A = this chain, B = another copy of it.
Amino acid sequence: MKMSGGVEWALHCCVVLSRAGAPVPAAKLAELHDVSQSYLAKQLQLLSRAGLVRSTLGQSGGYVLTRATSEITVLDVVEAIDGAQPAFRCTEVRQRGPLAVPAERCDTPCPIARVMDSADRAWRESLRAITVADLVADVGRTTPAETLEAARQWLRA
């Protein structure tokens, strides 16, 4: 089981965008993080489709967050990039094979599926509890102010 690597990039981008205050083109975000420009563009498109960012065309265009950072949860970003489907998908094994249980008997979900669903919900709940604002605050706490200012300068240049 492996989450898309784009999730990490997307989250970093959200943090950067929140500090920028002005539209930031995808190329600049890619250079800043030293990742593939074309592939990062794909992730940003996914964020755009999910309505988390808005794109501006033309010169001095780029991406901007659509909401306050406190209104964007980590789960929002994860689901935008990696999809909202749960990692485990029950294939109804009990309805197959020589001892198949007829479908009309399966009114309650398979116990295994229930356990997995519960775990998945705990995972999502944990991600939903943290917002991008929390991340930004954490970064601000552990990073020197001068570094943050330097980043701001670099983004404008």
Contacts and interface: CB of A to CB of B under 8 A. Distances in A.
Interface string A39-77: 000000000000000000000000000000000001000
A125 B122 contact: yes
Contacts of A143: 101
Nearest to A92: B8
A111 B139 contact: yes
Nearest to A82: B1
| This chain: copies in complex | 2
A9 B108 CA distance: 19
Nearest to A127: B119
Contacts of A150: 99
Contact of A154 (B98, B114, B134): B98
A99 B9 CA distance: 15
Contacts of A100: 34
A126 B135 contact: no
A8 B111 CA distance: 11
A124 B122 CA distance: 9
B7 A99 contact: no
B97 A34 contact: yes
Interface of A: 1-5, 7-9, 11-12, 31-35, 74, 82-83, 85, 87-91, 93-94, 96-101, 108, 111-112, 114-116, 118-120, 122-127, 130, 134-135, 138-139, 142-143, 147, 150-151, 154
Ranked nearest first, the 8 interchain pairs of A and B with the lowest CB-CB distance are: A119-B126, A111-B138, A34-B97, A123-B123, A34-B96, A3-B87, A122-B126, A122-B122
